[in-house]
Amino acid sequence: MANNQMTNYIMPTAEDVPPIHIYFEEIPCRFGGCGAKGIGELPHDGPAPAILNGIRDAIGVGFNTIPLLPEDLFEQLSAQESKAEAATV
Amino acid sequence: MSERRTRHDLRISFIVNGEERRVEAPPMKRLLDVLREDLHLTGTKEGCGEGECGSCSVRMNGELVNSCLVPVLQAEGAAIETVEGLGKAGKLHPIQEAFLACGGAQCGICTPGMLMATAQLLAINPHPTIGEIREGLAGNLCRCTGFKRIFDSVAAAVCEMDSRTGGAHAG
């Protein structure tokens, strides 16, 4: 049951699943209260802020909405430039 | 009921959960949609819509079918059983009780189909082995439970139905 993609991967059916046994391996997370850490369904909310933070780090302009398009970058950068020009005049 | 009749609609009559029902629908309308939209029996769920997942399973003339693959025309005169016919709140079917007791339902979208597949399995084979349970539910996908609790639920339902009918079940 090897799958190489997420779009049409094959799910295990009732006939395919192996016996499942659950064991607890406790490794406290130092960032969570009482060592707690969320597991299970992976959150999708990390990547977008990480990318926007990366952009802010690179060009010094912060964005807080997605999608972030090249046009948005251009607009913000142009606005910054014209502001800088106005300041120097 | 939900849509105005057009000249392409057909009058279809069939028996749903023991009751004679008539609908006027396009002949190729999916049985799934007729059940949900025309008859307001929304217990039957649409999962994939292409016969892969079994969420929309109903019993038709004693067979388990994917209602997303059955044009309503084919259901003319048929006896259909949906999850609504299995049990009602306050008076659940032993299979439903067992799923409840054993944690056989998690997110719930596969549950009506699982219940109907279990009903079908137990109608044919009242004392399935674990292998037969696996085979009987192989057409119904569940992403949450890993199936184990569903197997447990079916096994519990077998015991409960046995004790109710007083049937002797060795082992």
CB contact under 8 A, A14 and B151: yes
Task: Give residue-wise pLDDT tens across range B53-90.
Answer: 999 999 999 999 999 999 999 999 999 999 999 998 88
Q: Does B130 touch chain A (CB under 8 A)?
A: no
Question: What span, in angstroms and rounded, lies between the C-alpha atoms of B49 and B44?
Answer: 12
Tell me the pLDDT of chain A (89 aa) as tens digits.
Answer: 678 887 778 888 999 998 888 898 888 989 888 888 877 666 678 889 999 999 999 988 899 899 999 999 999 889 888 888 888 77
Across the range B88-109, mean pLDDT stands at 94
Helix (H) / strand (E) containing B124? helix B111-124
By C-alpha distance, the chain B residue nearest A20 is: B148
Task: Give residue-wise pLDDT tens across range B25-58.
Answer: 999 999 999 999 999 999 999 999 999 999 999 9
Of B135, B143, B146, the CB nearest to A20: B146
Question: What span, in angstroms and rounded, lies between the C-alpha atoms of A66 and A47?
Answer: 11
Q: How far is CA A67 from the centre of its chain?
A: 13
**CA-based nearest distance B113→chain A, Å:** 13
ipTM over 0.90: no
Q: Are B64 and B123 in contact (CB under 8 A)?
A: no
- Both tokens assigned to A88: 């120097």
